[in-house]
A and B are shown apart, each in its own frame.
Chain A
């Protein structure tokens, strides 16, 4: 049986892993390769490397960093941050990334998703979506790595998920911004609504604070994986303990 995935995310800014609260006030939480190697050794199911300053600064995550991390780890490795073209993606895949995640650049140019899927296959193409409720509707945000440059889109989140999948996205990571970094649990309502219309793997992001939050999001939103950052970086939850507990709860998990 396919296991539910536990996915630590390294939000990287200026060569260090950082973490904010609701996408603001980032603090330094550690060294990139050190954390990557630790999570792989702890049986994390995948690692996401997200250069959060790339899109706001009009840069792309550096292939050299991708290689440094890819050499260290023996688990799937997804890279995000300012990837704007097929060539940008190719350089990161050839540097050792397994998947490419696009967020702001896909909103600016949705055809990017089609082009990446055609070139590398849908299994390589993840669409990250930053979403927050505005006036009763979940709406997409972009350039969320820098609060001064964050833009609220007119697009509704659920419409954008459907469009991204139709264009060839092989996985959706839904970052629920109101929950980000506050550790009060995943946004089950939003994720369940996304699950109902998302035919490809769906990853929950934003809000993990306790092991029960992981069990809840698997049981009630039926997501394929749960991504978290601060609880892992700060040692609030150890991945081996979390996985052992989830198995006791009957969740299909890779030990």
Chain B
């Protein structure tokens, strides 16, 4: 099994790489699709704003490649948001692999903006990434924009309302939280992705 991290030059690549190394996986960093030719699955990390990240995916050829991708893909944080059709942050188009829009999060009375910290995971439909993870377990979220719960939401959290925590459309999945920084819970979710049969 080889795994490639799509290198969008955003800042959490080292954290994702270290987390995979702790699981005994040595990922390949792939700035361009051909560098991931030998990989059986892909992680799309990302922090920061949607616009610059999409521009880098377009420039590197990854945007087109991901639209044709058949291997399992896991987007993380901004990487998850880029899987959708449109982001109100930077008002830009996303990859369009999952129907839906990224909108600004309104925490209401639940706390400050952005949503930063450990929040609970609630499964809303069966999700293979949650195997071995207890209902109500905490994961680490850091984001100001979000995807409201929709038909492809498999796990949610609550912050001002239901917030998509894990999304899935067939072989394309994403986590809004940071599994690489979510302790034992995050490690289990990454392990599930690494070991998935699909």
Contact = CB atoms under 8 A, between A and B. Distances in A.
Interface in A90-122: 90, 93-96, 98, 119-122
Interface stretch (B36-44, B123-131, B139-147): B139-147
Contacts of B14: 67, 70, 93-96
A45 B185 CA distance: 13
Contact of A74 (B19, B47, B49, B144): B19
Contacts of A202: 112
A76 B140 contact: yes
Interface stretch (A1-9, A53-61, A128-136): A1-9
B117 A98 contact: no
Interface residues of B, number: 38
B114 interface: yes
Interface residues of A, number: 37
Contact of B112 (A1, A94, A224): A224
A199 interface: yes
B143 A123 contact: yes
Interface stretch (B62-70, B91-99, B175-183): B175-183
A205 B14 CA distance: 28
Nearest to B181: A76
A200 interface: yes
B180 A201 contact: no
B11 interface: yes
B15 A98 contact: yes
Interface in B79-113: 110-113
Contacts of A183: none
B16 to A, nearest CB: 10
B48 to A, nearest CB: 5
B142 A2 contact: no
The prevalent SS among residues of A at the interface is loop
The prevalent SS among residues of B at the interface is mixed
Contacts of B159: 2
Contacts, number: 107
Contacts of A76: 140, 142, 178, 181
Interface in A43-72: 43, 45, 67, 70-71
Contacts of B143: 123
Contacts of B178: 76, 98
Contacts of B60: none
Given A2-B159, A123-B143, A74 B184 contact: yes
Contacts of A171: 116
B71 to A, nearest CB: 25
Given A74-B186, A201-B112, A3 B119 contact: yes
B142 to A, nearest CB: 4
B151 to A, nearest CB: 25
Interface string B155-198: 00011000000000000000000101111101100000000000
Nearest to A118: B49
Contacts of A120: 11, 47-48
Given A94-B14, A170-B114, 19 more contacts: A2-B115, A2-B119, A70-B18, A76-B181, A77-B15, A77-B181, A93-B11, A93-B12, A96-B14, A120-B11, A121-B49, A122-B114, A122-B144, A123-B142, A123-B144, A124-B11, A124-B47, A201-B111, A255-B138
Interface of B: 11-15, 18-19, 21-22, 47-49, 110-120, 138, 140, 142-144, 158-159, 178, 180-184, 186-187
